[in-house]
């Protein structure tokens, strides 16, 4: 079997459905690979995810074990990034914190993207009264200041990772709905959607199989660009004590609890700050690269 | 005389306050083809869109095969009537392979034997089987219009509504597509309604022609009369003179 050779992927005359699909994906990958910044972003993100997943193997200390005799230590051979105000190893906490922070981001995206896509596509495709109702609901959520709504929501529930995820999701979906609606409206009156309607297909099938796939690329781009702001919102909630609860190591919370040491023991709050900064920047780089590859308007 | 396949009586379509089709009536026998000519904006495409069910804001009577149609059509209707659009660049889904585009009507109608039918449909419109798993942007304009015709025919309709099927193509490809359409009609005993602003295209395919201006069908005449200039309405003569002038330019 000649599967997955370069010729098989790049042929102009594919001979099966899967070959055509893989060929298109491979071309997108080639385009992405030629974008240096996007590749840097991708490598950083993959590294962070792998490091977080492998935290139990890579951590040198238990992230919760305290050593008050050795608090606020400088980076050294024993503690690579130093220790925090309770003498906990920062390197281990960064690794475990990645699980919480990146996990929150992924959970938010998994909740938000399908919801925004569904609402936007339905509103855009049907138009009229359906559109008006769904978009007014969207406007209501869009009008709330994001962090304040999230804070109120978390305060109403109980502070914790799950509530923080729900709160961020609640405030993050309207832009996706708007985007999906705009994309849908540009294709709704096209001849190829008219041709789909002329097959007699029900609206649900048309939206799911013909309209939504056209909205997904710009949604993916928007999501990767939003990842950084989701990280920052998650970190802000953590900073305000409304996100992950101690002793759970979350990057934002780690900065919050050590902010008073920023002048004397600067590395303690700076190291989680660098982690947040690098993750956000990497997502932005990747998002920009993906926009060049996926955005159908740029072809 | 063959039985009447399509009967349109006093069809009116309005967009808001603007009536764009003002009481159009015509009949097409089974296996026949009827051409509608007119300038852009004369409402000829709107007639087709109302007949196909894409536009539901119409009044009057549209009957196909003796059955009057309502604003909403059931799935069976779309097996008997299909449409080919003007722009082959815009009528094929940009993210779907030809295979997927052609299998969609079969999946919707629950028609089995997809593999064989797609191969047959491609062969029928003289497309190579290598085109099957390509994307529309990898095909030429003429090839795309063949795909659009194959898609319309794959659910085996009896009536085909053709909305300027050749106007986006260059002249040599136009002739190919017109010949293909003429062949298919004969082989499958299809009924055509062809909308075009090009008199040569219409008279090539349709023995009977209706002339529309400002939403009204001012004249119906045979293609032979149109060619020889035996027109009744001054606008028809104008259209004819214009197209004769254009043909003589090169």
pLDDT tens per residue, range A111-148: 999 999 999 999 999 989 999 999 999 999 888 887 88
| Residue A195 to residue B151, Cβ atoms within 8 A | yes
| Residues from chain B contacting residue A14 (CB–CB below 8 Å) | 97, 133-134
Identify the residue whose tokens are 């994307």: B135
Among candidate residues B189, B191, B133, B141, the one with its CA nearest the CA of residue B162: B191
- The H-or-E segment that residue B209 falls in is strand B208-213
**Cα B226 to the chain's mean position, in Å?**
20
Give the Cα separation of A119 and B245 in Å (integer).
54
CA angle (B33 as vertex; B27, B34 as ends), nearest 5? 55
The enclosing H or E element of B160 equals strand B159-163
For B149, the closest chain A residue by CA position comes to A195
Mean pLDDT, range B14-40, rounded to an integer: 89
What is the b/e burial string over B120-140, where b = at least 16 CB atoms within 10 angstroms of the residue's CB? Answer: ebbebbebeeebbbbbbebbe
| A218 within domain boundaries | yes
Q: What is the pLDDT of residues B229-239, one digit of tens each?
A: 787 888 888 77
Does the beta-carbon distance from A20 to B105 stay under 8 Å? no
Q: What's the domain range around A283?
A: 101-298
Kindly report the backbone phi and psi dihedral angles of residue B109, in degrees, each rounded to the nearest multiple of 5, phi listed first.
-90, 0
pLDDT at position A24: 81
Q: For A217, which residue in chain B has the nearest alpha carbon?
A: B95
Q: Which of B104, B138, B153 to mutate to test the interface with A (most CBs of A within 10 A)?
A: B104
| A186 HSE (CA, 13 A, CB side) | 11
Question: Which chain B residues contact residue A190 at CB under 8 A?
Answer: 90
Sequence-distant contacts of B226-231: CB under 8 A, at least 24 apart? B226/B199, B227/B203
Q: Which pLDDT score is estimated for B166?
A: 87
pLDDT at A4: 63
Q: Which H/E stretch holds residue B68? A: strand B67-68
**From residue B176, how far is each of B33, B126, B183, B222 by CA, in Å?**
18, 10, 11, 24
In the numeric block, which tokens belong to residue A17? 């459905």
Give a yes or no: residue A151 inside a domain.
yes
Residue B59, helix vs strand vs coil: strand
Is the confidence at residue A36, as pLDDT, over 60? Answer: yes
pLDDT above 80 (res A93): yes
B190: left (phi over 0), alpha (psi -120 to 50) or beta: beta
The pLDDT confidence band at residue B1, using thresholds 50, 70 and 90, is low
Give kind and range of the element (H or E) at residue A28: helix A17-33
| Separation of alpha carbons B50 and B8, rounded Å | 11
Q: Which residues contact A44 (CB under 8 A, 6 or more apart)?
A: A278, A279, A281, A282, A285
Interchain CB distance below 8 Å, A16 and B74: no
Q: Which pLDDT value is given to residue B233?
A: 82
Residue A1 has pLDDT above 60, yes or no: no
Closest residue to A192, CB basis, from B91, B99, B155? B91
Q: Where are the domains of chain B?
A: 4-248
Residue A296 is predicted with a pLDDT of 52
pLDDT value of position A150:
80
Which CATH number characterizes residue A175's domain? 1.10.3720.10
**Which residues of A have a CB under 8 Å from any CB of B?**
12-17, 19-20, 24, 190-192, 194-201, 205, 209-210, 213-214, 296
Whole-number pLDDT of residue B192:
93
Q: A73 pLDDT exceeds 80?
A: no
Give the per-residue pLDDT at A3: 53
Q: What are the CA-CA distances from residue A245 to residues A43, A101, A155 (Å)? A: 30, 12, 13
User: Rounded CA gap, A164 and A159, in Å?
Assistant: 7
Distance of alpha carbon B192 from the chain centroid? 6
Is there a domain that residue A14 lies in? no
A24 neighbourhood in chain B, CB within 8 Å: 135
Within a domain: residue A215? yes
**Given an 8 Å threshold on Cβ–Cβ distance, is B91 in contact with A196?**
no
ipTM here: 0.87
Mean predicted confidence (pLDDT) in A80-87: 82
Note the pTM of the prediction, 2 decimals: 0.83
* Residue with more model confidence, A71 or B97: B97
Question: Which of A208, A184, A181 shows the shortest CA–CA distance to A119?
Answer: A181
The H-assigned helical ranges of A127-250 are 128-143, 146-156, 161-188, 191-198, 203-206, 212-239
Does B221 have pLDDT greater than 80? yes
Span B41-52, average pLDDT: 89
Q: What distance in Å separates residue B149's CA from the closest CA in chain A?
A: 11
- pLDDT tens, position by position, A202-257: 999 999 999 998 898 888 888 888 887 888 788 788 778 787 777 788 888 888 88
Contact A24 B82 (CB under 8 A): no
Mean pLDDT of chain A: 86
- What average pLDDT does the segment B157-180 reach? 88
Is A200's CB within 8 Å of B77's CB? yes
In chain A, what residues touch B97 (CB-CB under 8 Å)?
Answer: 14, 17, 20
Which of A12, A200, A214 lies at the smallest CB-CB distance from B75? A200
Strands B81-84 and B159-163: parallel
Residues in chain A within 8 Å Cβ distance of B77: 200
Q: How many structural domains comprise chain A? A: 1
Would the pLDDT of B59 be above 80? yes
Residue A160 lies in a domain: yes
Count of all residues that appear for chain A in the document: 299
Q: How far apart are CA B52 and CA A174, in angstroms?
A: 36
Q: In chain A, whose CA is at the least distance from the CA of B72?
A: A200
Chain A residues with beta carbon closer than 8 angstroms to that of B83: 194-195, 198
Using only C-alpha atoms, chain A has a radius of gyration, in whole angstroms, of 23
CA distance linking residue A249 with residue A268, whole number of Å: 13
The CATH class for the domain spanning B4-248 reads alpha beta
Q: What angle do CA B89, B100, A7 make, to 5 degrees?
A: 90
């Amino acid at each position: 079997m000649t599967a997955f050779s370069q010729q098989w992927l790049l042929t102009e005359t594919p001979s099966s459905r899967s070959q055509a699909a893989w060929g298109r994906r491979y071309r997108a990958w080639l385009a992405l690979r030629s974008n240096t910044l996007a590749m840097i972003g991708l490598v950083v993100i993959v590294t962070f995810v792998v490091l977080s997943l492998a935290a139990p193997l890579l951590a040198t200390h238990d992230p919760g074990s305290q050593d008050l005799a050795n608090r606020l230590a400088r980076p050294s051979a024993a503690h690579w990034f130093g220790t925090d105000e309770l003498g906990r190893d920062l390197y281990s906490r960064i690794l475990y914190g990645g699980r919480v922070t990146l996990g929150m981001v992924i959970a938010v995206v998994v909740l938000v993207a399908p919801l925004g896509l569904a609402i936007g596509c339905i509103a855009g495709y049907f138009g009229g009264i359906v559109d008006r109702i769904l978009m007014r609901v969207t406007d209501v959520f869009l009008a709330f200041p994001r962090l304040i709504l999230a804070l109120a929501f978390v305060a109403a529930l109980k502070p914790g990772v799950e509530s923080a995820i729900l709160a961020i999701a609640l405030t993050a979906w309207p832009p996706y709905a708007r985007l999906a609606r705009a994309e849908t409206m540009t294709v709704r009156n096209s001849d190829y959607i008219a041709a789909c309607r002329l097959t007699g297909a029900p609206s649900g099938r048309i939206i799911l199989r013909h309209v939504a796939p056209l909205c997904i690329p710009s949604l993916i781009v928007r999501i990767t660009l939003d990842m950084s702001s989701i990280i920052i919102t998650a970190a802000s909630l953590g900073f305000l004590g409304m996100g992950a609860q101690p002793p759970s190591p979350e990057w934002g919370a780690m900065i919050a609890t050590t902010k008073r040491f920023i002048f004397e023991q600067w590395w303690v709050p700076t190291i989680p700050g660098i982690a947040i900064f690098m993750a956000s920047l990497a997502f932005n780089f990747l998002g920009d690269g993906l926009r060049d590859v996926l955005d159908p308007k740029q072809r | 005389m063959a039985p009447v396949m399509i009967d349109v009586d006093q069809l009116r379509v309005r967009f808001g306050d603007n009536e764009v089709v003002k009481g159009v009536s015509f009949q097409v026998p089974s296996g026949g083809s009827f051409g509608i000519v007119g300038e852009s904006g004369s409402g000829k495409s709107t007639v087709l869109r109302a007949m196909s069910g894409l536009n539901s804001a119409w009044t009057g009577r549209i009957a196909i095969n003796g059955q009057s149609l309502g604003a909403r059509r059931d799935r069976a209707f779309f097996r008997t009537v299909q449409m080919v659009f003007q722009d082959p660049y815009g009528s094929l889904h940009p993210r779907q392979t030809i295979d997927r585009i052609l299998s969609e009507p079969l999946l919707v109608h629950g028609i089995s034997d997809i593999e064989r039918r797609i191969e047959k449909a491609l062969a029928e419109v003289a497309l190579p089987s290598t085109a099957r798993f390509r994307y529309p942007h990898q095909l030429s304009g003429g090839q795309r219009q063949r795909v659009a015709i194959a898609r319309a025919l794959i659910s085996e309709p009896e009536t085909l509504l053709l909305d300027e099927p050749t106007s986006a193509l260059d002249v040599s490809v136009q002739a190919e597509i017109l010949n293909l359409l003429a062949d298919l009609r004969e082989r499958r005993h299809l009924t055509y309604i062809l909308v075009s602003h090009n008199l040569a295209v219409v008279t090539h395919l349709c023995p009977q022609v209706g002339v529309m201006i400002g939403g009204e069908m001012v004249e119906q005449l045979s293609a032979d009369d149109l060619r020889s200039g035996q027109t009744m309405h001054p606008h028809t003569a104008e259209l004819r003179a214009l197209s004769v002038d254009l043909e003589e330019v090169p």
